[in-house]
Amino acid sequence: MRSPAFLSGIVVLCLFQLCLSSCGEDDLKKAAALSAKDKLILNRDRTIGVEIIYSDSAVVKAKGTAPIMDKITPKNGAIYQEMPKGVKINFLNEQQGNKGSITSDYAIQRESEKLVIFKRNVVVVNEEMVFNTEELTWDQNKQMFFSPQGVVTKPDGTVMNALNFSATQDFSIFKFNNASGETYLDKKFGE
């Protein structure tokens, strides 16, 4: 006949094994999720305090700064650069004077597609307008900016809601569809 201490020891051992097996299932699920993430990114290089210079034919056209830039090399797919803390780009004229800027809270550069996508609180400023949007894409191949929607504010106070916004690389020419908003007219116009 077995002693009560022996039987209680077996019960404790069975309960302990039961606890371990139930914990193992959750851990396996977590491990599978982590290994799936590991399959996505092969390498991530972080640079702090980045300055980016864009030139065309040895002429500096823009200078950008970002507090953090991550260069991400996925196992499958193309390398891209992400600026999770935002970016500011100043457009320069030939005398190195500032002629406009773009700021955003987040940006991603897709090298193979030659695209830069600015997201969250995107503001474009130049002499002719201020453009506010939540997403703006620069297509380097077309040398154009595109946005699905935003608000254009002109120096005279005119405010327009704009759909399908597009602009040349220097924002000297811009167009959009379905404009609606407020404009201010000079007194001379009504007389």
Residue 90, burial from CB neighbour count under 10 angstroms (0-12, 13-18, 19+):
middle
**Whole-number average pLDDT of the chain:** 78
Tokens of 126: 């130049």
Q: Given pLDDT bands bounded at 50, 70 and 90, which one contains residue 84? A: very high
Is pTM beyond 0.75? Reply is no
Distances (CA, A) of 24 to 17, 21, 104, 155: 10, 5, 44, 64
Question: Tens digit of pLDDT for each residue in 151-186?
Answer: 988 888 888 888 899 998 878 888 888 766 666 666
Among 73-77, 89-93, 125-129, 142-146, which is the least confidently predicted range?
A: 73-77
Q: Given pLDDT bands bounded at 50, 70 and 90, which one contains residue 104? A: very high
Residue 65, burial from CB neighbour count under 10 angstroms (0-12, 13-18, 19+):
middle
Q: What is the DSSP letter of 172?
A: S
Q: What's the CATH fold of domain 82-190?
A: lipopolysaccharide transport protein A fold (2.60.450)
pLDDT at residue 90 tops 60: yes
Cα dihedral 59, 170, 86, 142 sign: negative
Identify which of 120, 128, 127 has the alpha carbon closest to the alpha carbon of residue 147: 120
Cα dihedral 171, 174, 178, 183 sign: positive
Question: Tens digit of pLDDT for each residue in 49-58?
Answer: 989 888 877 7
Question: Tens digit of pLDDT for each residue in 9-33?
Answer: 555 445 445 444 445 455 545 555 5
pLDDT the model gives residue 58? 78
Structural domain spans, the chain: 82-190
pLDDT the model gives residue 172? 81
Of all residues in the chain, what percent carry a pLDDT higher than 70? 69
pLDDT at residue 35 tops 50: no
Residue 78, burial from CB neighbour count under 10 angstroms (0-12, 13-18, 19+):
exposed
Q: How far is CA 77 from the centre of its chain?
A: 18
